[in-house]
Amino acid sequence: MVSTRAKEALVSLEDDLGGRAVLVETLHFANLDPRGVEFVRQAGSLGMQAVPLATLCRQCNISPYEIIKLHREGALNRGQTIAYTRAAEAMNAIMDDLIDKAVDHEVDCPRCDGTGELKNKAVCPDCTHGKRFIGADPKAQTKLLDIMQLGRKAGLNVGIVNKFDGSGGGFFDEFVKASDKATRNLQTEPAVDGQVVS
């Protein structure tokens, strides 16, 4: 039996959530048991719109507390799905930005706006040609390697090493130099038919 106070609280909750339709829509994203399914069916029925939530709870043998928990679960599931989708859509731009920071690159000089000249037509003392050199960010390099499972967290499980001039410094530079040194120190001998070269 739902108390009078609980009935009033449910009416207030329904209004605060935006109405019956919003409540029902959100509950669809929760993990409903048979009682929850029946509650959603009845609450969403056009002929039951005027029936108080407390009455529906009693008819479906489900408590107001369970409805609140299911609503919270549904809202969280819906919100996470939207957030994941938006994050996935932005992933290309995020990776492009990370890659740009992980390698040496040039940008337009902020002092002369990339023209190479100041307003008085003098040569820009900061760049002389409109571009500024930006060294690779070691943190971005490490993050990129971790994402590719080539970094320290992955135990340096390297399949393919792309040649890099190493001018940016940092962990990536150290890693490439160490790989090059190890390769130079290998003594290669011609393989004999049937021989396995380790």
**Do 119 and 142 fall within a single domain?**
no
Same domain for 53 and 28: yes
SS3 158: coil
Residue 147 lies in a domain: yes
How far is the C-alpha of 110 from the C-alpha of 116, rounded, in Å? 10
pLDDT at 182: 55
Q: What domain range includes position 178?
A: 138-184
Residue 123 has pLDDT above 60, yes or no: yes
Query: Percent of the chain scored above 90 by pLDDT?
Result: 24
Q: Is residue 75 scored above 90 in pLDDT? A: yes
Same domain, 33 and 86: yes
Assess whether 47 and 77 both reside in one domain.
yes
d(CA 51, CA 172): 66
- 190 in any annotated domain: no
198 domain-assigned: no
The verdict on 18 and 48 lying in the same domain is yes
Q: Which is higher by pLDDT, 79 or 190?
A: 79
User: Is there a single domain that holds both residue 34 and residue 109?
Assistant: no
Quote the number of domains for the chain.
3
119 falls in which pLDDT band (50, 70, 90)?
Answer: confident
Q: Are residues 58 and 120 in the same domain?
A: no
> Contact at 8 Å (CB) between 119 and 134?
no
Q: What SS3 class is residue 140? A: helix
pLDDT per residue over 162-174, tens digit each?
Answer: 444 444 455 555 6
Tokens found for residue 132:
């500024």
**Same structural domain, 129 and 179:** no
**Is position 126 within any domain?**
yes
pTM (2 d.p.): 0.51
CA 180/CA 122 separation, integer angstroms: 45
Same domain assignment for residues 129 and 86: no
